[in-house]
Amino acid sequence: MEDTATMLWTGVAVLGLIYLIKWKTDPLNSIPTVGGSSWPIFSLYSAIHFSLNSKKLLQEGYKKYYGSVFKVPLIEQWVLIVSGPKMVDELRRRPDEELSFAEGVEDSMQIRHTFGPETDEDPYHVDIIREKLTRSVPAILPDVIDELTLAVPEHIPAKSDEWLEVAIMPTMQQIIARASSRVFVGAPLCRNKEYLNLAIKFTIDIIKDKTLVKLAPSFLKPLVGKLSNHVRGTLHETIPHLKPIIDERWELMKTFGDNWSDKPNDMLQWIIDTAQTRQDNTYEAIARRILLVNFAAIHTSSNSMSSALYHLAERPDCLETLREEIEVVLREEGWTKNAMGKMWKLDSFLKESQRYNGIGLASLTRKALKDITLPDGTFVPRGSIIMAAADATHHDDSVYADSDVFDPWRFSRMREADGEGTKHQFVNTSLDYISFGHGKHACPGRFFAANELKSLMAFIILNYDLKLGGDGSRPQNLYWALNVIPAPKGTILFRKREVSV
């Protein structure tokens, strides 16, 4: 019995020694840690501590290791963080064979395990967003605006003689889902509440499933991905809504070929057209792409809109300035893309809100596909996840004066300088403005999203007064790990304007 116990404890000691040696020789140990200790016994505590204090700790790391690299502990892995324009540019220009954007996104979202490998191996929906959706913005924006004129009063049924309290996050999700779906699947499906709820639910399901998969060891990820089937369940519930529309369009394509009168100019048709050139041309394949496009549109745009509305309700002095600009432009241009482009103050307000709040605390996600050495001498081992400190960059006083102050006209003033008219508009990225990423992998849907957000913001400003309840303080963002979440339970008071456009 004693011999057995001795052998058992000896085995435990040997395994512990092997693990300690492996940890000690890990190249990541040479990279400074922010947010806790990298010792194995303390790593879980460090990850929880960082997740709860991530905004503050990332700012500390940014200042301490500016122009270099530090690492932060997430519950499932270490993430390397770079700071400063030279290092951001390094992420931007490194080829995908070294630092891969696609593999970085896959590591973050785990689509390969939760949703199947098809969209990961052939992400043609991304090309459709980058090319077809962006080029079509002038043609499809009237449909978005038409849908907003119906959806906003339905979800914000305020009257002119009393204030209505509205829960902002869920309301913006519903409105954004409906306006986006007008362009993605067309009417009347874009008004089907069951379908819209599935589109919104998918954004939550994908986060649930990927969180479970990321916690699993590599060899168990495929199994955990199949067992955590929220996204697959939502996919199968969505297919019956899309099937009759797909059948109708397949029949028209069979009869008339590639073109016919009134052929829909929407995301569903673009995906159907592309899918017929692929082997995976099925209801499930098409629905899978639609859901992923929905996720990208609803998640980021509803968060961005919620943040901007909190600022607007906190700063009612901005309402009249924005109304004046919007009314003048609309009289000249009508509700068009050209009109949205001329609303410099509205553009500035949205961009400043995104600078101040952010979509996430870090951006430009990349995964190292081979060992590389960065210009500062930092060795990055294969398999590492590396990102840029977006929030800390946007709150750097040397980059943006009084960076912790929300200045609604910051970017419209910048655009007034000679040669700066387009450089500082909402959709533009730079080494100092990286909410949308930067370079060839910058968010491909930002051009559509910016015009949708401007249209929604303009409609609300013209048709409603709004203010915060209580003491008038803006509801605070929530921060967890690298995520930024506008106050999920925050509310705004709305009152219908008697004079509206």
Strand bridging mode 464-467 / 385-388? unpaired
- What's the burial of 153, exposed, middle or buried (CB within 10 Å: 0-12/13-18/19+)? middle
User: Which residues in 184-222 are b (16+ Cβ under 10 Å) and which e?
Assistant: bbbeebbebeebbebbbbbbebbeebbebbbebeeeebe
Q: Is 490 helix (H, G, I), strand (E, B) or coil?
A: coil
Angstrom CA distances, 384 to 87, 365, 407, stand at 16, 11, 37
Of the candidates 435, 393, 388, 428, the residue with the CA atom closest to the CA atom of residue 411: 428
CA distance 207 to 411: 33
Residue 463, Cβ neighbours under 10 Å: how many?
Answer: 18
**455 within 8 A of 414, measured Cβ to Cβ:** no
CA angle 489, 179, 282 (to 5 degrees): 110
Which residue's entry shows tokens 């879980």?
A: 44
CA distance 376 to 65: 11
Question: Does the annotation list 190 as a binding residue?
Answer: no
Which residues sit opposite 201 in a β-bridge? none
User: Which residues in 298-315 are b (16+ Cβ under 10 Å) and which e?
Assistant: bbbbbbbbbbbbbbbbbe
CA distance 451 to 149: 15
Angstrom CA distances, 68 to 9, 29, 46, 77, 365, stand at 43, 15, 21, 20, 16
Angle between helices 317-333 and 344-357 (to 10 degrees): 130
Amino acid at 99: L
Mark the binding-site residues, compressed into ranges. 443
Binding site for heme, by residue number, is 443
